[in-house]
Structure 1
Amino acid sequence: MTIHKEGLKILFILLAVLFAINYAVKYYFPEVELAHQLTLIASLIVYLLVLQFFRNPSIQIELDDKLVLAPAEGKVVVIENTVEGEYFKDERKQISIFMSPLNVHVCRTPVGGIVKYFKYHAGKYLVAWHPKSSTENERTTMVIQNPSGTEVLVRQIAGAVARRIKWYTKENDKLVQGQEYGFIKFGSRLDVFLPLDAEIKVSLDQKTKGGKTILAELK
């Protein structure tokens, strides 16, 4: 288990702020021991909560070009046929995963292959489960073409709290299945768009593990 690079600066600043708060409480209320203890306990709880958010566990990926892996840890909140209007512009199977603040927020590639399309969109910060968040919120769209030529689209979506999307890839990059390609700070959602003949392997409300849970099998 390691701490993700996106959290190092935040954790350092938070540590400094909490130290200053504890110092101020002791300075202004030197004889109120209960206040010292409660402030310290509250500071530890806050720091540990933020620390666990940025955890980055190491995992082993079982590569398989026929399988689509979950791009993140979370809960399946959407499985439906829908029209994907940005890249495919036709009907696709959509699987959406909601990430709570307690989940690991590393974003992983659902399939391996070449990045055929990548675009960042500035936008709103509607709650992640809002129907329009997929098309109106701040987001990134990435399309990967696997070795057999099948294209899979994965979309990072910011939410009401998560307003920091990070990505580490660009068009024409070659990605390995399960590879880390981004991070979303403080919870949000990822959408995956698949061919209509893909065989779905998950169900609504199922918990997922990024790079481990099999979302679907490609024909």
Structure 2
Amino acid sequence: MSNPLKIIAVPMHPEGRKFVAIFAAVSIVLGSLWMPLFWIGAGLTVWCYYFFRDPVRSVPQVEGRLVSPADGVVSLITRMVPPAELALDAEERVRVSVFMNVFNCHVNRMPMQGTIKKISYHHGKFLNASLDKASEHNERNALTIRSDNGTEIGVVQIAGLVARRIVCFTQEGENLERGERFGLIRFGSRLDIYLPPGVEPQVVLGQTTVAGETILANLEDPATVWSGARI
């Protein structure tokens, strides 16, 4: 029988400590004024802790697997030319978008082992991250990742309607393993993943993904379960 504490008491990422402390302090102050406000604040403090959770993940060790960089739902799958800031070839690739709501774990993980070739941050708007136009208009941070065999992909962290801060833990030239943490977005957002040319996704629209675990594509055998239509 599994231990419920392993599900509830998951580790919290250090990025969330100051926010939990602020929520807790405000709850105490409000409680001194009216006790029901303390319990409301306590509930929000627990939610804040849960938002910044950083659970251990079982990363697939099979070669050639591209894993999801985010927890969430596959909200868009389309074929398009990557944005210029990724400095990838100007040819169409499949873009898989994973939308994270305020209840998802927001720690982002490397889709594959590789070197961070380029990082490009852009200021922008805070539209609903589930909208297609958010890729172009919202605040975002684009990373170009190159594997040891020369395969390049693009990953874009996109701020959402309530997100106001994109955090990137890595830097250009750093080499990270598949599933290793590279960033975080606060509070509700999206990640776009640009697959290599000719590689098709092995996820479908509406599918739930787990960062570092869910396989997005097989680079060794790029078979598709996608019809190729814009969805």
The answer, yes or no, to whether TM exceeds 0.5 is yes
Distance 1:118 1:43 in 2: 38
- Counting only pairs closer than 5 Å after superposition, residues 87-166 of structure 1 correspond to structure 2 as 87-88=87-88, 89-166=90-167
Distance 2:170 2:194 in 1: 19
State the Cα distance separating 1:199 from its structure 2 match. 3.2
Distance 2:62 2:146 in 1: 14
State the Cα distance separating 1:215 from its structure 2 match. 0.4
State the Cα distance separating 1:164 from its structure 2 match. 0.7
Superposition TM-score, scaled by structure 1 size: 0.91
Give the equivalent residue in structure 1 for 2:61: 63
- Counting only pairs closer than 5 Å after superposition, residues 172-187 of structure 1 correspond to structure 2 as 172-187=173-188
State the Cα distance separating 1:137 from its structure 2 match. 1.0
DSSP 3-state at the match of 1:2: coil
Superposition TM-score, scaled by structure 2 size: 0.86
Structure 2: runs of 5+ lacking an equivalent: 1-9, 221-231
1:127-180 per-position Cα deviation (integer Å, ceiling 9, x unaligned): 102222112211111111112211011000001101110001111111111110
Higher strand share: 1
Distance 1:170 1:44 in 2: 36
Distance 1:80 1:217 in 2: 18
DSSP 3-state at the match of 1:161: coil
Distance 2:143 2:63 in 1: 17
Structure 2 letter corresponding to 1:6: E
Percent identity at matched positions?
A: 38
Question: Do the aligned partners of 1:154 and 1:192 also contact (CA within 8 Å) in 2?
Answer: yes
Give the equivalent residue in structure 2 for 1:42: 40
Give the equivalent residue in structure 1 for 2:209: 208
Aligned length: 208
Provide the aligned C-alpha RMSD in A: 1.3
Question: Do the aligned partners of 2:110 and 2:181 also contact (CA within 8 Å) in 1?
Answer: yes
Question: Do the aligned partners of 1:65 and 1:111 also contact (CA within 8 Å) in 2?
Answer: no
Structure 2 letter corresponding to 1:41: W
Structure 2 letter corresponding to 1:155: V
Structure 1: runs of 5+ lacking an equivalent: 26-35
State the Cα distance separating 1:195 from its structure 2 match. 2.1
1:67-121 per-position Cα deviation (integer Å, ceiling 9, x unaligned): 1100010000111111113122321110000000000000111011111111111
Give the equivalent residue in structure 2 for 1:167: 168
State the Cα distance separating 1:56 from its structure 2 match. 0.8
